[in-house]
Amino acid sequence: MIEPTGPQLATAARTFGLLLAPVRLHLVALASCGEHDVGTLAARVGVSVPTASQHLAKLRLAGLVTAHREGRRQLYSVDDPHVIALVEQIFQHVAPDGTLAPDPPSPEPAHRVAARTG
């Protein structure tokens, strides 16, 4: 990886800053799994609809979630594969009890496997 530029660092810091709030991270995680209306998201996250709407508006402005109308409902989702990967990676790294999950064992170098089987 090359060294990040100043603008990259600033944008990344703003993005991570938005995801510091557990409510926002939860909303992004749910929206990463499919389309949901604000009422469903609010209920799943445990906040009021107006609170969820305010958080979703900030996440939309930052480009982390998208929304489209289906009849009278506004449906929210995450379409950016980078955001989806980021959410998947963090929850693979953090165990359900909140501890950091251990890294998986690294594969053995090919020359060691060949020496054992050869």
CA dist 52 and 50 (Å) reads: 6
56 and 36 Cβ atoms separated by less than 8 Å: no
Domains for the chain: give ranges and CATH numbers. Answer: 6-117 (1.10.10.10)
Instruction: Report the candidate in 44, 48, 35 with the shortest Cα–Cα distance to residue 76.
Output: 35
List Cβ neighbours of 45 (8 Å cut-off, separation of 6 or more): 23, 26, 27, 30, 52
Record the pTM.
Answer: 0.82
State yes or no: pLDDT of 115 exceeds 80.
no
Give pLDDT tens digits for 37-77.
999 999 999 999 999 999 999 999 999 999 999 999 999 99
State yes or no: pLDDT of 17 exceeds 60.
yes
